[in-house]
Amino acid sequence: MAGVKQGGRSRPPVWAWAGLALGAVVVLAGGVYGGWRLYRRLTRPPQLTVTLYAQGLNQPTTIANTGVPGDQRLFVTERPGLIRVVLPDGALAPAPFLDLTAEVEDSQYGEQGLLGLAFAPDYAASGDFYVYYSANGNIVRLSHFAVSADPNVADPAETVLLTIKPDAPMHLGGDLAFGPDGYLYLGPGDGTAGEDPGSFAQRLDTLRGKLLRLDVHGAAPYTIPPDNPFVNTPGALPEIWALGLRNPWRFSFDAATGDLYIADVGQAAHEELDRVRAGTSAGLNFGWHCYEGLLVRAFSDCAPGAAFTAPIATFERVEAGAIVGGYVYHGNRYPALRDAYVFADFANSSLWLLRPDAEKPIPYWELGVANPSTFGVDAAGELYIASFSAGQLFSVGAR
């Protein structure tokens, strides 16, 4: 339809102006709605999901990968003493990677067993890996092994690097990880039945209740990194990198930032999550047995509060009963999960998520992972969690 002539120009009819106005409102509303959807997507927490990946395991305690690009196998330690290979399709290799059942002491009334596994950063060339386990005679042992000519089977020859004598078959920690610096970190617990009455976690003349840092690439059995914090402290054991831990059950380094996350199981009141930012001076004291989380415990050997490093999160027993450390997610399958730290609680079978921009972790209940005992990542950074009681392995995702 032609417009009405006025002053030599064509003016749109009234209905056209109304259409333009309506279109502007629609565009504006659509923009607001789209912006709101984007805001919600960026600010609301992701919904964690778990998918069964493997089964048939016996009390899994550690999930590890070789670090070799393209190697999609996972290696799972079982508490009684086997290391199992989980193939890329989720099936278990017929033979164990390593059988330590004759050496492992795993009393059903304690917290013993095959507890830690880490592959050397140069595993592709060296074939070296390290395990931590409770051995017969109530000792815990850090040992070196190497792969055989068969990539799915290890050479059984063992080199013992370190032994520790606990007081009880409990609080043995046992996680192993190579840090960004190439050194091996080990987290033995205080090794007591409770309360740490000998103040082992606070003493520098014992390895118990500490985070240790070792150079396993030098002279046998290992050497001490020259910048370990207590190398020049009289009476201190030079392996110590940090102290004041009760039972560090899983720790990991953020693959992107180098930050260290430590989950420390509490005594009777609080669980705690500790974080060491990359570049922080070594020698931190996380407080046990003077503190349980943020709870002050009155012992005569405890220094002023300023001497201790506070956790970034604590949990009362109604929330968590046995914290399990996890990983910061850097995989590609689930963008909503990227850069978030995922961990769990063994007692309540819950998963937790700590977003990088959040002050408090977010709990997720009833996801179907019974007694989650450990996390791991594959070579691509995808995340997995194990069910101790069901013997299952799940991949962790988000939507």
Radius of gyration of the chain (CA): 26
Same domain, 167 and 198: yes
Counted domains in the chain = 2
User: Which H/E stretch holds residue 310?
Assistant: none
Domain hosting residue 39, numbered range: 12-44
Same domain, 148 and 238: yes
From 376, 269, 271, 273, select the one nearest 326 (Cα to Cα): 376
Same domain, 25 and 57: no
- Which parts of 7-153 are beta strand (E)? 9-11, 48-54, 60-64, 74-78, 82-86, 98-99, 114-119, 128-135, 139-147
- Hey, is 24 helix, strand or coil? helix
Phi-psi region of 339 (alpha: psi -120 to 50; beta: other; left: phi over 0): left
Taking the C-alpha atoms of residue 173 and residue 175, their distance in angstroms, rounded to an integer, is: 6
Evaluate whether residue 3 is within a structural domain: no
**Cα separations (Å) of 374 from 28, 76, 175, 250, 270?**
49, 10, 10, 7, 20
Evaluate whether residue 39 is within a structural domain: yes
Same domain, 369 and 262: yes
| List of residues 6+ apart from 238 with CB closer than 8 A | 224, 228, 230, 231
Same domain, 243 and 338: yes
Evaluate whether residue 5 is within a structural domain: no
Taking the C-alpha atoms of residue 338 and residue 240, their distance in angstroms, rounded to an integer, is: 32
Same domain, 39 and 158: no
Evaluate whether residue 7 is within a structural domain: no
Predicted local confidence at residue 218, as pLDDT: 87
Taking the C-alpha atoms of residue 79 and residue 101, their distance in angstroms, rounded to an integer, is: 9
Same domain, 246 and 365: yes
The strand pairing partners of 348, in sequence order, are: none
Predicted local confidence at residue 38, as pLDDT: 43
Backbone phi and psi for residue 61, each to the nearest 5 degrees, phi listed first: -125, -20
Per-residue pLDDT tens digits of the chain, which is 399 residues long = 333 333 333 344 454 445 545 454 444 545 654 554 444 445 678 999 999 999 999 999 999 999 999 999 999 999 999 999 999 999 999 999 999 999 999 877 789 999 999 999 999 999 999 999 999 988 999 999 999 999 999 999 999 999 999 999 999 999 999 999 999 999 999 999 999 999 999 999 999 999 999 999 989 999 999 999 999 999 999 999 999 999 999 999 999 999 999 999 999 999 999 999 999 999 999 999 999 999 998 787 887 787 899 999 999 988 999 999 999 999 999 999 999 999 999 999 999 999 998 889 999 999 999 999 999 999 999 999 999 999 999 999 999
Taking the C-alpha atoms of residue 11 and residue 270, their distance in angstroms, rounded to an integer, is: 75
User: 103: domain CATH number?
Assistant: 2.120.10.30
Evaluate whether residue 193 is within a structural domain: yes
Token pair in block for residue 297: 């415990």
Same domain, 205 and 132: yes
Same domain, 142 and 39: no
Evaluate whether residue 4 is within a structural domain: no
pTM above the 0.85 mark?
A: yes
Same domain, 184 and 284: yes
Evaluate whether residue 221 is within a structural domain: yes
Same domain, 28 and 177: no
Predicted local confidence at residue 297, as pLDDT: 86
Predicted local confidence at residue 300, as pLDDT: 78
